[in-house]
Chain A
Amino acid sequence: QKEVEQNSGPLSVPEGAIASLNCTYSDRGSQSFFWYRQYSGKSPELIMSIYSNGDKEDGRFTAQLNKASQYVSLLIRDSQPSDSATYLCAVNLDSGGSNYKLTFGKGTLLTVNP
């Protein structure tokens, strides 16, 4: 059973702080990793994708991937109240005929307090 684990939260940070969201996955064959942001009642919005070990930065967002530890994280710098949402970690197994399927974590609810 391929699993993606996230802390459900809620994670509460003050405005301007760094929010750190973590995700672990069980399948070592996983190749593609994504972070989605989902506001209440809305659809998931892709905010970061990462495919190789290391850091990837896009504006205030940094994704970090460590395949040896089967760990992917998302850092949000200078957190804003508008960042308050559920963050979904999604992993794609790129082999074995299952590369169509995204396996989602249950999501972490982030609240940024003004």
Chain B
Amino acid sequence: DTEVTQTPKHLVMGMTNKKSLKCEQHMGHRAMYWYKQKAKKPPELMFVYSYEKLSINESVPSRFSPECPNSSLLNLHLHALQPEDSALYLCASSQQFSYEQYFGPGTRLTVT
């Protein structure tokens, strides 16, 4: 089973809202990732967690705040987003770094 789940599937939020995206995997993977993907572009790495600790922040604005409550869950907290933050947000996991990364279905975010 190589399933990564994400909720919600779609999210519309205003620029003053606070919302959270959730990601879950039960494959025992120790690395988890958040990506952002704009239309007709490849995924762009945002954050990397390894063994539940934040390893990499790819210079992401502070209005995006990741959290890893346990080895299976990954959250992305959103606050005061801009319309240009509208995108498909993807969660992925892998057994370790450099192994295959499996993506969840994504959350389509629209900021109004």
Contact = CB atoms under 8 A, between A and B. Distances in A.
Nearest to B42: A104
A111 to B, nearest CB: 15
Interface residues of B, number: 22
Q: Which residue, B42, B43, B50, B90, has most C-beta atoms of chain A within 10 A? A: B42
A102 B101 contact: yes
B56 interface: yes
Contact of A44 (B43, B45, B56): B43
Given A42-B105, A100-B55, 20 more contacts: A32-B98, A34-B100, A36-B103, A43-B88, A43-B103, A46-B100, A46-B101, A46-B102, A46-B103, A88-B42, A90-B101, A92-B97, A99-B98, A100-B48, A100-B56, A100-B98, A101-B56, A102-B45, A106-B42, A107-B42
Interface of B: 2, 31, 41-43, 45, 48, 50, 55-56, 88, 90, 97-106
